[in-house]
Amino acid sequence: MRFCKRNRFFHYRIAYGSCQEAKTTVEILVLSGHLDRETGRRWWADLHRIGGLLWGLMRSLK
């Protein structure tokens, strides 16, 4: 199936939002003590990088 530009943007936007939610969840887990700080930093950094890639994909479609 081939996605048109608008559909790709829509899917990238959903993925970006999910990535932002995951970053917030990691922050909450660290602050509540359910996740150690170092693991939280690594996970947050990975999610931040993925979010940046998704943001770049969205900007490339505008």
In the chain, at which residue ranges do the beta strands (DSSP E only) sit?
A: none
pTM for this structure? 0.86
Summarize the confidence of residues 26-52 as an average pLDDT. 98
In total, how many domains does the chain have?
Answer: 1
Model confidence band, residue 3 (pLDDT cutoffs 50, 70, 90)? low
Which residue segment(s) compose the domain that 21 sits in? 5-61
Residue 1: its pLDDT value, please? 52
For residue 33, give the DSSP letter: T
Strand, helix or coil at 45? helix
Percent of the chain at pLDDT > 70 equals 95
Are 22 and 35 in contact by the 8 Å Cβ rule? The answer is no
